[in-house]
Structure formats: C-alpha cells, structure tokens
Chains A and B, each alone.
Chain A
Amino acid sequence: MNRQVFHRAGVLLGRYAIIAVWMVFTLLPIYAAFVASLTKFENLGKSFLVPTDFAWQNYIDVFARVPLLAFLQATLVYALGTAVLCVVLGVLAAYGLSRFRFRGKATFVRTIFLSQLLPQVIIVVPIFMLVNQFGLYNSFIGVILAIGATGIAFTILLLRSFIDGLPVALDEAAAVDGASRLGILIRIVLPLAVPGIATAFALAFFNGWGQYLYPLVLTRSAEYTPVTVGIARLIDNQTPWEIVMAGTLISVVPAVVIYLLAQKFLTRGLVAGAVK
C-alpha cells in the first residue's frame, strides 16, 4: 500500500519534471520575444534577461502601426476554412480508405503522401496562374483551396489510422439495419473517432493559421492579408522588432484559445451526437 503511494508520487514527480523541462524549452524564446516587445526601439538588444523599459505602449502602438484586427480576421477565415475543408474531405477519404479495398488505393495513398514534398516555392507560381484563371485571385476561396490541397494529406492519413482502430463489427451491424454507407459514417463512425477528428481539425486549423506563402501570393487587398504577411511587412533595414514581437504574441493568443474551444466544442458536440 505504502509502496504504491510512493510509486505513484514518484511517477507524478517524474511527469512534472518532464513537463517543467519542456515548458522552459518551449517558452524560452517566447519569453525573449516578450522582453523585446516591452523594449523601446532605441534599447533593443541591450538586455534580454528581464524587461527594462516596460513599454506596454508597444501593445497599443502595434494596432496603430498595422491593422492587426483585420489581419487576425483574415487569418481566422483561412484557418477555419482550411480546417473545415480538410476535415470534411479527409473524413470521407479516410473512411473510404479504411473500409474498402479497391484498385488504385495504394497509389492514392502514396500520391497524397508525396504531395507533401512538392516544394511550395516552386509550385506557387503555377498555382497562382490557375487560381487567377478561375477568377479566384484575391479571394479567400483560392487561398483555402491551395492550402487545403497541400495540407490535406496528413488529415487523411491521420483519420484513416484512427478509423482503422474502430471495430468493423459496428459498421456491419448498422449495415444489417439498412443504414447507408454515408449514414454509417456519420452516425456510427464519426462519434467514435472524436479524438482523431478533433485533433485533425486542430492540426488543419493551425496549418491554415500559420500560412504565409499562399495568402501572400494569391491575394493583394488588405482584407485578405493574414497576420503572418502583415507583420512580416515590417521587416526592413530598421525592423521595429518590439512591434513585430508584440504583434506576434498578440496573434498567438487567439490561436491557442480557439484551439482549446474547438477541442472542447467538437468533443462535446460529437459525443452528444453519439448519445442521441
């Protein structure tokens, strides 16, 4: 009894130690950015151990220097659009891959994996030509389709390995009851694959959130400019790093909050659907 308690405490301590080390590693550069964001431009690079200027004003100035809210709005559209596109197409394809044997399956799987290796810097110009031709230049849709096409591979492969883990017996039972394939997918498989779907959604969401090249090349107007592109415009001979870092840190916050909300909402929503 006592030994078990000690053992448990030891494990807990070990886990905390790992988490603590990782948190320091993760947050070290974030802290450096935070210190810089509180520094006046003239004092950048002076001391990075603790903030000296406490120039909170930078967090207000950043909104005057760049239309940060508009950028965030566009970023949000790209992130949500990518997540929805990838998850909807991804669930369908993953289910098809998991539950059927068909000709061309292996080729399909390999093709989507290899799509991850196409160098963006090279394919971006032809993609631009294409998007322009379809009249989708300077639109959210064009960018989301480009991000989706280059980012969906992982969603499919991940969801497939999750669906693979679900017993086929459930599908078969439902099929006996006369449910259609799509019905089985929606009513039986989806609720059970919740952790996978929520994760795939989050991963696709962040993929869309961090995109730089596609929105840069495929849009021109301010309303389509995401945070990444908007803030990178400040980089110059005399980059105001304090503003850049304040803007970056501000834009990290909604991403994390949305991720947490999405996780919670998706998990709860889909579980509720399963019970019903």
Chain B
Amino acid sequence: MNRITRRRAAMLIATAATATLVSVGAAGAQSASGEAGPVTLTFMRTGTPSILHPIFDPIIAEFEKQNPDITVDMQDLGWADAATSLSVMAASKTLPDVMYHLPGTVFDMAQKGLVLDLTGKLSAQLTSDIYPALLKAGQYDGKQYLVPSGASTLLLWYNAKLFEAAGLDPDAPPATWDEMLAAANKIHAATGVPGLGLYSKPAGGETSFVFESLFASQIGGSAWDSSKNAYVYDDPAQADNATATLKFMQDMVAEAQPSVVEYGRFDTRTLLRDGKVAMVMDSVNMAVQIKDQLADGTMRVARIPAGASGASVSAINVGGWYIPTNSQHPEAAIRFLEFLMTTQNQIAHTSYGSVPILKSEAATYTGDYWKTITDSVTDGVAEGVAPDTPALWAVTGEQLQALLTGDQSPADTLGNIRAGHDEVYDKR
C-alpha cells in the first residue's frame, strides 16, 4: 500500500516536472511579423521616467506624425533595475527595438550576437556630426554597435570665493597637477577648508574613470589601446607614468577632506556646494547641484589640470542608442534612431545631463561655461571599454581604494592592478 502511494506521488511529481521542462524547452519559438503594415517600435531610455517623458514624448509625437505607419511605445527602466532587466530581456529576446545603454554591456551583448552592427547603416550626415572621440567610444572591434547620445568628461569645479580668500586668482584656476596641489594647500592654510573634495566609495567605474583621465593627461593621449583592448598603463613600459599618476592621487588625499573612501560623488558635490571644500573633479552632472552658484559666478568650471604631458585630456564616458538583433523592424528602428539624433532632439536629450554630442549642437551653445565643456570633449579621448570592462573596473576600483586609504604604495597598487587585469585579459 505504502509503496503504491509513494510511487503515485513520485510519478505525479515527475509528470509535472517533465511537462515543465518540455514547455521550457519549447520557449523562444515566436512568430515573426513582417515589415508590412503598421509597425510598433518599443523604446527605452534608462533613467528617471518623470524627467525623461517630458523630453521624449514630444519627440515621439513628432516622429509619429512624420511616419504615420510607425508607432513608438516608450517603456520605463531605471538605472537601478538595468542589469537584471537587461539580462532577462536579452535572454528572452524581448529587448526593445531602440534602447539606451552603456558600452560595456552593449559590447558584451554584441559579442554574443545580440546587438546589430550599425556600421554603414547610419547617414553620413550623422556620423560626421558626432564628435570623433564619441563616435569611437561606440565602437568595438571596428564595429559601430552604439550611437553615443549622452556623455561626460571630467572637469574641475571650484569655489571662486575660497580662491579669493586664499589670495588666488579665480580667473586662473590651476592648470597643472602641482599647481592644483599648491592651490589646495594654500586654501587650507588660509581658510581651514580642505582644498580638494575626493571620492572613492564607489569602487569601480567612477574612480577608475578619474584614474584613466589623469593618466591620459599624464601621457597626453588615450589610456586605452583599442588595438589590444587593454589599458596602456598595464604596459610595463608605462610604469613610470602610471606610478606618477597614482602618486598624484595619493598626494591629493593629503589635501582632501578626511575619510575619502566614505565619500561618493553625491557627497563631494554637496561638500563643494556648501563651501566645505574648494575644488572637486567631477562630471557635468555637478551643475545641477550648484546651478545657482554657477549662475552668480561663485562656482566655476575649468578643464582638469594637465599632467607631465602638459595637456588636459579627459576620458569621455558615453551612453547611447543601440538596436538589438531581436528587433523585428530594424529599418524602422534605425529611422527612429536617426530622428533622435537630429540637432534639435539631441539638444533636448542633452538637457538630461550630458556634454554636447553633435558639433552642430555645440554650435548653438554659447558662453565660457559651454566652451570649457565642449573643449573637454574635443580634446578628450574615448574611455576604454570592452565586454569585460566591469571586471577590469572592479580590480582598479578596489586597488585605488587601498591606495587612497594609505594602505598601499603607488608601486604596489600598480602591481596589483596589473596582476588583476592580466587575470581578466587571460580569460578572453
């Protein structure tokens, strides 16, 4: 009796499991619809929906008016959700027809055949209008997977009042690393306020970006070798430049607010805003936090100081549009993408928090503020990105934290970064 019952129960379970497995195995067989007839494009711009809809709803309305056969359905995705949602959408081949994201992830998906190569499919008018360094940031292995539509560079934001209080000329912000350290020191001596605001809490991309930009300024060129898909500073021949850059970062800690590893970018922005530090290197997103002070001239922006090369070279971090290979309507998607990138529409998008993307767009911005920002783009270099960039950043961020807490010398930090990166490179 007992045995019969058990067998029945076991069979029941087995049947249920098999049915489930079979049905899962059958997944993915979706019906494909042709291009004929009205088309609905799904569209996603990662970010805060309440700010994005006012930007994109009018653009979509205009596009639908010009293309009566196409409807655009904009869906929301926050940055906090992005990683998980993307993986699920990619796995189930339900990525939206046009989507915004960061190159690391997009290139990773591209390696797996999930992203459309847009090389040769974009209008010459568009590709020549995008700043070359930005366009390059959307390429991997010579293929254009991403069309940049949002970008940031590293800039030096500073408090003019504190400069004056220390007898420094706010119209002549520090142009070299030594000048910056000296100015910070002088401000601290005169006012008691730490000269620099420094963050390294987000171990990963954000601190890596600072290091990459400073190193680019040290050597006067890109910190990324796109032919080898490796960081230039990982090359033993560059050890002196890399160590000098790390040494400079360590020197900055001495002039910065205490507990650097407990500060993220949000925190250092509030420090600068409240007059608790005199200078912070940060992206254009800083502007939102200090917009009144920028308007009245108390806060100003300058290019980041130059390293040994004598040039101020920032890495440029981009995000942009891509079209997944699962799109049923790639042609309509490309048409919409081109429309998003018209000068007027890009101006609207840039207001979300970006440096200018198009030359025609930059031409409409005037004043010193925009000149400084635009110059940082024209002189900048694309941030190095490969499919395994997040793993590389994790190594760099962790080692930089150790450096900035004073636990590790610049030379050891470089050694550990290189060893960690080599491990990642070896896995390719």
Contact between chains at A237 and B285 (CB < 8 Å): yes
Contact between chains at A129 and B24 (CB < 8 Å): yes
A2 contacts the other chain (Cβ, under 8 Å)? no
Cβ 8 A contact of B92, one of A42, A103, A121, A129: A129
B36 contacts the other chain (Cβ, under 8 Å)? no
Contact between chains at B26 and A133 (CB < 8 Å): yes
The CA-CA distance from A213 to B77 in the complex, in Å, is 13
Contact between chains at A217 and B84 (CB < 8 Å): yes
Question: Which residues of the other chain, A, contact B85 by a CB distance below 8 angstroms?
Answer: 216-217
The CA-CA distance from A65 to B6 in the complex, in Å, is 57
Decide yes or no: A133 and B285 within 8 Å by CB, A103-B2, A233-B76 being known contacts.
no
Question: Which residues of the other chain, B, contact A112 by a CB distance below 8 angstroms?
Answer: none
Contact between chains at B92 and A128 (CB < 8 Å): yes
State how many angstroms separate the Cβ of A122 from the closest Cβ of chain B.
11
The CA-CA distance from A236 to B49 in the complex, in Å, is 11
Decide yes or no: A236 and B47 within 8 Å by CB, A129-B27, A133-B27, A217-B84 being known contacts.
yes
Can you offer 28 A-B residue contacts whose CB atoms are under 8 A? Answer: A45-B270, A46-B274, A64-B50, A103-B6, A124-B84, A124-B88, A126-B24, A129-B24, A129-B91, A130-B24, A132-B27, A132-B92, A133-B23, A133-B24, A133-B26, A133-B27, A216-B84, A216-B85, A217-B88, A229-B78, A233-B49, A233-B78, A235-B78, A236-B79, A237-B283, A238-B285, A238-B289, A239-B266
The chain A residue sitting closest to B284, CB to CB, is A237
State how many angstroms separate the Cβ of A217 from the closest Cβ of chain B.
5
Question: Which residues of the other chain, A, contact B84 by a CB distance below 8 angstroms?
Answer: 121, 124, 213, 216-217
Given A133-B24, A238-B353, 10 new contacts (CB under 8 A): A42-B289, A42-B291, A42-B292, A124-B88, A216-B85, A217-B84, A232-B80, A233-B81, A234-B78, A235-B78
The CA-CA distance from A237 to B206 in the complex, in Å, is 11
Question: Which residues of the other chain, A, contact B267 by a CB distance below 8 angstroms?
Answer: 45
State how many angstroms separate the Cβ of B290 from the closest Cβ of chain A.
8
The CA-CA distance from A42 to B289 in the complex, in Å, is 6
Contact between chains at B20 and A104 (CB < 8 Å): no
A6 contacts the other chain (Cβ, under 8 Å)? no
A249 contacts the other chain (Cβ, under 8 Å)? no
Q: Is the interface of B mostly helix, strand, loop or mixed?
A: helix
Contact between chains at B88 and A128 (CB < 8 Å): yes
The CA-CA distance from A198 to B113 in the complex, in Å, is 51
- Listed in ascending order, the chain B residues whose CB lies under 8 Å from chain A are 2, 6, 9, 20, 23-24, 26-27, 47-50, 75-81, 84-85, 87-88, 91-92, 266-267, 270, 273-274, 283, 285, 288-289, 291-292, 353
Residue from B50, B92, B289, B353 with most neighbouring chain A CB atoms (10 Å): B50
State how many angstroms separate the Cβ of A81 from the closest Cβ of chain B.
21
State how many angstroms separate the Cβ of B398 from the closest Cβ of chain A.
21
Contact between chains at A232 and B266 (CB < 8 Å): no
The chain A residue sitting closest to B91, CB to CB, is A125
The CA-CA distance from A66 to B50 in the complex, in Å, is 7
The chain B residue sitting closest to A243, CB to CB, is B50
Question: Which residues of the other chain, A, contact B47 by a CB distance below 8 angstroms?
Answer: 236
State how many angstroms separate the Cβ of A206 from the closest Cβ of chain B.
21
State how many angstroms separate the Cβ of A166 from the closest Cβ of chain B.
27
Contact between chains at B353 and A237 (CB < 8 Å): yes
A268 contacts the other chain (Cβ, under 8 Å)? no
Question: Which residues of the other chain, A, contact B81 by a CB distance below 8 angstroms?
Answer: 216, 229, 232-233
The CA-CA distance from A234 to B85 in the complex, in Å, is 16
Decide yes or no: A220 and B75 within 8 Å by CB, A103-B2, A129-B91, A130-B20 being known contacts.
yes
Within 8 A of B (CB), among A195-249: 213, 216-217, 220, 222, 229, 232-240
State how many angstroms separate the Cβ of B154 from the closest Cβ of chain A.
14
A25 contacts the other chain (Cβ, under 8 Å)? no
The chain A residue sitting closest to B75, CB to CB, is A220
Question: Which residues of the other chain, A, contact B273 by a CB distance below 8 angstroms?
Answer: 42
Question: Which residues of the other chain, B, contact A217 by a CB distance below 8 angstroms?
Answer: 84-85, 88
The CA-CA distance from A64 to B49 in the complex, in Å, is 11
The CA-CA distance from A134 to B23 in the complex, in Å, is 8
Question: Which residues of the other chain, B, contact A234 by a CB distance below 8 angstroms?
Answer: 48, 50, 78
Residue from B2, B48, B49, B274 with most neighbouring chain A CB atoms (10 Å): B48
The chain B residue sitting closest to A220, CB to CB, is B75
Question: Which residues of the other chain, A, contact B75 by a CB distance below 8 angstroms?
Answer: 220
The CA-CA distance from A206 to B270 in the complex, in Å, is 35
Question: Which residues of the other chain, A, contact B6 by a CB distance below 8 angstroms?
Answer: 103-104
State how many angstroms separate the Cβ of B307 from the closest Cβ of chain A.
26
A44 contacts the other chain (Cβ, under 8 Å)? yes
State how many angstroms separate the Cβ of A148 from the closest Cβ of chain B.
16
Question: Which residues of the other chain, A, contact B92 by a CB distance below 8 angstroms?
Answer: 128-129, 132
Question: Which residues of the other chain, B, contact A44 by a CB distance below 8 angstroms?
Answer: 270
Question: Which residues of the other chain, A, contact B79 by a CB distance below 8 angstroms?
Answer: 235-236
Question: Which residues of the other chain, B, contact A45 by a CB distance below 8 angstroms?
Answer: 266-267, 270, 274
The CA-CA distance from A128 to B89 in the complex, in Å, is 10
State how many angstroms separate the Cβ of A212 from the closest Cβ of chain B.
9
Question: Which residues of the other chain, B, contact A222 by a CB distance below 8 angstroms?
Answer: 76
The chain B residue sitting closest to A216, CB to CB, is B81
Decide yes or no: A233 and B80 within 8 Å by CB, A128-B88, A217-B88 being known contacts.
yes
The chain B residue sitting closest to A66, CB to CB, is B50
The CA-CA distance from A103 to B23 in the complex, in Å, is 30
Question: Which residues of the other chain, B, contact A121 by a CB distance below 8 angstroms?
Answer: 84
7 nearest CB pairs, A to B: A233-B78, A45-B270, A65-B50, A232-B80, A235-B80, A237-B285, A133-B23
Contact between chains at A236 and B48 (CB < 8 Å): yes
The chain A residue sitting closest to B287, CB to CB, is A238
Question: Which residues of the other chain, B, contact A236 by a CB distance below 8 angstroms?
Answer: 47-48, 78-79
Decide yes or no: A128 and B91 within 8 Å by CB, A103-B2, A216-B81, A229-B81 being known contacts.
yes
Question: Which residues of the other chain, A, contact B27 by a CB distance below 8 angstroms?
Answer: 129, 132-133
Contact between chains at A125 and B88 (CB < 8 Å): yes
Contact between chains at A238 and B78 (CB < 8 Å): no
Residue from B26, B77, B92 with most neighbouring chain A CB atoms (10 Å): B92
Question: Which residues of the other chain, B, contact A240 by a CB distance below 8 angstroms?
Answer: 48
Question: Which residues of the other chain, A, contact B283 by a CB distance below 8 angstroms?
Answer: 237
State how many angstroms separate the Cβ of A67 from the closest Cβ of chain B.
9
The CA-CA distance from A31 to B283 in the complex, in Å, is 31
Contact between chains at A46 and B353 (CB < 8 Å): no
State how many angstroms separate the Cβ of B238 from the closest Cβ of chain A.
31
The chain B residue sitting closest to A130, CB to CB, is B24
